[in-house]
Amino acid sequence: MEAQPKRCRRCLLQDMADENDYYASVVRYRATMPRRVRTPDAEYTARLEHCRTCPSLNAGTCMQCGCYVEMRAARTDMHCPLDNAPW
């Protein structure tokens, strides 16, 4: 019987890019997004760093809202769903 790989609980989709195609979808989504709603690169990176430290992150998914954190962080009009939201 083949062993199942462990899921990375505090990982983003980009950290698991070799396991699935979801991160490629994030890259395409962000590349085609209108500039007026696309989070600037530096802010996007900062948002994702907050997500990495959050106990609600589970394998790229926010367990508070069910979204892929990289998709949510990509839009300027989206915010962290926590009550004390860091972004």
CB 68 within 8 A of CB 22: yes
CA distance 14 to 21: 10
Model pTM score = 0.86
Average pLDDT score over the chain: 92
CA distance 43 to 33: 16
Tens digits of residue pLDDT in 54-72: 999 999 999 999 999 999 9
Tens digits of residue pLDDT in 2-20: 665 566 788 999 999 888 8
